[in-house]
Amino acid sequence: MEEVARALANSRFAVAFTGAGISAESGVPTFRGPGGLWERYRPEDLATPEAFWKDPVLVWRWYRWRQELIYNAAPNPAHLALAELESLGVLKAVITQNVDGLHKRAGSRRVVELHGNIWRARCTSCGRELPIEKPVDEIPPRCPHCGGLLRPAVVWFGEPLPRDAWEEALLLASSADFMLVVGTSGVVYPAAYIPRIAKRNGAVVAVVDPGETALDDIADFKIRGRAAEILPRLAA
């Protein structure tokens, strides 16, 4: 732990790569592992365009459930520690797979959202994107411009990542000399290439997660523990 804190403090361009585990202690469930299920559905069966077109109401009910959890959740000490590290000039950016917006609510300024944001929707007819202020009340929600079916502006399986976010993440990964990987199983691609690219470009990689992850093979340091407990100690 002390060694990681020192390596981080001495880095010139540190970047964080986060997943659902960083929001777990805010009460937002992870996708995989215990507590990761909604009713009897697996995320792999809901986060797809096929699931949406088969049953938009079911998929929107899942998103509304998550919007409600997130709406009532607050950033936890792990999100706050990353914002603090950025304001100290140590951390340059957060690349996140999360759609909950909690990094920005915690005060992080440079946040790259690889999988979109649950507080935006996109019209499946006219393509317009619009913000959602609070959990949707009408299901499925309709486009105020054309009446078309709205979908969450998030990235589902089989869909490409937003080009701008992906390119910024690639740039950050190749600039980083330290990458702090927090709370991700590391199984979803292309997102999981980001820490691998950083490693290949010479970054020191530290993984913070209570469990085993598919990125442990590139970890120079592995801290087994909960993000809200470990990250404030790295920022101290």
- 232, interface contact from ligand BJW, Zn ion, none, CB < 5-8 Å by kind: none
Q: Which of 161, 200, 155, 162 is nearest to 179 (CA)?
A: 200
79, 103, 115, 145: which is the annotated catalytic residue? 115
Query: Of 89 and 236, which has the nearer Cβ to ligand BJW?
Result: 236
Looking at the DSSP bridge assignments, the partners of residue 149 are: 142
Contact status: 219 vs Zn ion (CB under 5 A): no
| CA proximity to 206, closest of 190, 189, 187, 230 | 230
Taking a C-beta distance cutoff of 8 angstroms, is the pair 85, 116 a contact? no
Give burial (CB, 10 Å; 0-12/13-18/19+) of 86.
Answer: buried
For 46, the enclosing helix (H) or strand (E) is helix 43-46
- Both structure tokens of 30: 């992870």
- Interface residue with ligand BJW among 14, 43, 60, 79 (CB under 6 A) is 43
Bridge partners (DSSP) of residue 93 are: 15
Nearest distance from C-beta of residue 56 to Zn ion, angstroms:
15
Please tell me whether residue 1 binds ligand BJW under the rule CB under 6 A.
no
79 is catalytic: no
CB 186 within 8 A of CB 214: yes
**Closest by Cα among 78, 75, 74, 112 to 92:** 112
Query: Which of Zn ion, ligand BJW, none interacts with 111 (beta carbon under 5 to 8 A by kind)?
Result: none
Bridge partners of residue 165, in order along the sequence: none
Q: Which of 8, 81, 172, 227 binds ligand BJW (CB under 6 A)?
A: 227
Q: Determine, following the binding rule CB under 6 A, whether residue 24 of this chain makes contact with ligand BJW.
A: yes
Single out the segment in contact with ligand BJW by CB under 6 A; choices: 9-17, 123-131, 152-160, 196-204: 152-160
- For 19-108, strand residue ranges (E) read 91-96
Q: Is 76 in the site for ligand BJW (CB under 6 A)?
A: no
Scanning residues 95 to 154, which ones bind Zn ion (CB under 5 A)?
A: 123, 125-126, 143, 145-146, 148
Looking at the Cβ atoms of 82 and 123, the one nearer to Zn ion is 123
Residues involved in catalysis: 115
Give the residues lining the site for ligand BJW (CB under 6 A). Answer: 19-21, 24-25, 30-33, 36, 43, 47, 97, 99, 115, 154-160, 183-185, 187-190, 209-211, 213, 226-227
